[in-house]
């Protein structure tokens, strides 16, 4: 089988600002897995937080010798090989994982969510992300989110009151908060959590820096709101140490290396009685449609990444009224967008 690699730059509709920084565009890499006349599509949206960028993705994929394999159904063996090429590089690994799964679904003529079998959960509404911005732009984002019953509001940049006041000025929808590690003392984090609980926020994602494990446990013992780990959990191996510090985990294909690992993480989180959120980076419909195949297995979904861009080259899952709607096409269900 052959892997074709194609870098692409996603353009954001509005600048996207979180506690870590701001972006106007997001460089990604698409891959095509060609074998027996079927093409599986994958995507890597690199995580700068973990030292990834388009160059590291391209470098990793160039080292990935899929020519040595001739049966894409051997997903475990192939992805085991890919994982062993180098540590990290989880977005690049996810691109290969998604393309392989897409190929298998296409070969079987089945959407992946049907190939995987019933998930057992009711597909949750996806939230829509309100990034940190001026009151005028926040109002515009809330308008863009008109079809979504749940908002995920980014905080942690020092203007939390202004952002939350603006949000509440325009809407009384359910609000979840993501601090992206932005509250750097545990006392500040606890004070913010108490304030957000009074405002009726549903839960808070990653209040403190991921390396502050003892503080996270301290905070969890006192928090009036459920806490979800994001930056504190990348892959399966990270989950076992989390139940003392968090109530749930945010699984993202780009962070965890793909669908195969995500399925294992969902099982592990369930065994530890933790909630599961299915999240995303800023991605095209390729990455989002791949993740959405798992949406009937999770408690919370945050799959709006493709809605924030203006030049998505693909179409796949849609989010009418906030509920992920999967196209009845095999694999991850994407096709090239017609101009």
Residues lying near Mg ion in the complex (CB under 5 A): 178, 205, 230
Q: Which is nearer to Mg ion, 49 or 140 (CB)?
A: 49
The nearest distance, CB 230 to Mg ion, in angstroms, is 4
Q: Which is nearer to Mg ion, 215 or 302 (CB)?
A: 302
The nearest distance, CB 17 to Mg ion, in angstroms, is 14
The nearest distance, CB 232 to Mg ion, in angstroms, is 10
Q: Which is nearer to Mg ion, 178 or 304 (CB)?
A: 178
Among the listed residues 212, 2, 254, the one whose alpha carbon sits nearest the alpha carbon of residue 103: 2
The nearest distance, CB 185 to Mg ion, in angstroms, is 20
Phi/psi of residue 310, nearest 5 degrees = -110, -5
Alpha-carbon dihedral of residues 68, 74, 75, 80, nearest 10 degrees?
Answer: -60
Position of minimal CB gap to Mg ion:
230
Q: Which is nearer to Mg ion, 106 or 152 (CB)?
A: 152
The distance of Cα 103 from the centroid of its chain, to the nearest Å, equals 21
The nearest distance, CB 234 to Mg ion, in angstroms, is 12
Q: Which is nearer to Mg ion, 83 or 160 (CB)?
A: 160
Integer Cα distance of 260 and 228 in angstroms = 22
The nearest distance, CB 154 to Mg ion, in angstroms, is 8
Q: Which is nearer to Mg ion, 41 or 229 (CB)?
A: 229
Q: At a CB cut-off of 8 Å and minimum separation 6, what does 133 contact?
A: 14, 15, 17, 141
Q: CA–CA distance from 319 to each of 28, 145, 265, 297 (Å)?
A: 22, 11, 24, 17
Q: Which is nearer to Mg ion, 227 or 309 (CB)?
A: 227
The nearest distance, CB 178 to Mg ion, in angstroms, is 4
Q: Which is nearer to Mg ion, 138 or 179 (CB)?
A: 179
The nearest distance, CB 303 to Mg ion, in angstroms, is 13
Quote the tokens at residue 167: 């949000």
The nearest distance, CB 206 to Mg ion, in angstroms, is 5
Q: At a CB cut-off of 8 Å and minimum separation 6, what does 80 contact?
A: none
Among the listed residues 108, 138, 4, 12, the one whose alpha carbon sits nearest the alpha carbon of residue 61: 4
Q: Which is nearer to Mg ion, 102 or 205 (CB)?
A: 205
């Amino acid at each position: 089988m052959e892997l074709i690699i194609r870098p692409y730059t996603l353009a954001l509709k509005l600048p996207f600002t979180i506690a870590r920084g701001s972006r106007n565009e997001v460089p990604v890499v698409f891959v095509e897995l060609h074998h027996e006349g079927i093409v599986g599509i994958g995507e890597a949206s690199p995580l700068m937080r973990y030292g990834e960028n388009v160059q590291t993705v391209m470098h990793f994929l160039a080292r990935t010798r899929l020519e040595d394999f001739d049966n894409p159904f051997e997903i475990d063996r192939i992805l085991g090989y890919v994982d062993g090429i180098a540590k990290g590089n989880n977005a690049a690994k996810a691109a290969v994982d998604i393309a392989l799964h897409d190929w298998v679904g296409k070969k079987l003529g089945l959407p992946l969510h049907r190939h995987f079998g019933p998930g057992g959960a009711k597909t949750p509404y996806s939230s829509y992300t309100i990034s940190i911005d001026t009151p005028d732009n926040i109002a515009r984002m809330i308008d863009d989110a008109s079809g979504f019953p749940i908002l995920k509001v980014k905080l942690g940049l020092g203007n939390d009151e202004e952002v939350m006041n603006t949000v509440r000025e325009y809407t009384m929808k359910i609000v979840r908060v993501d601090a992206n590690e932005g509250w750097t003392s545990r006392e500040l984090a606890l004070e913010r959590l108490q304030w957000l609980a009074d405002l009726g926020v549903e839960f808070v994602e990653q209040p403190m820096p991921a390396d502050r494990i003892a503080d996270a446990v301290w905070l969890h013992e006192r928090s009036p709101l459920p806490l979800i780990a994001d930056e504190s959990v990348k892959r399966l191996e990270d989950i076992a140490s989390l139940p003392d510090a968090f109530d749930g985990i945010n699984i993202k294909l780009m962070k965890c290396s793909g669908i195969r690992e995500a399925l294992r993480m969902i099982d592990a989180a369930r065994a530890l009685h933790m909630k599961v959120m299915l999240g995303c980076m800023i991605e095209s419909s390729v990455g989002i449609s791949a993740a959405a195949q798992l949406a009937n297995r999770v408690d919370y979904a945050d799959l709006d990444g493709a809605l924030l861009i203006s030049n998505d080259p693909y179409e796949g899952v849609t989010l009418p009224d906030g509920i992920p709607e999967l196209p009845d096409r095999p694999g991850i269900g994407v096709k090239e967008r017609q101009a």
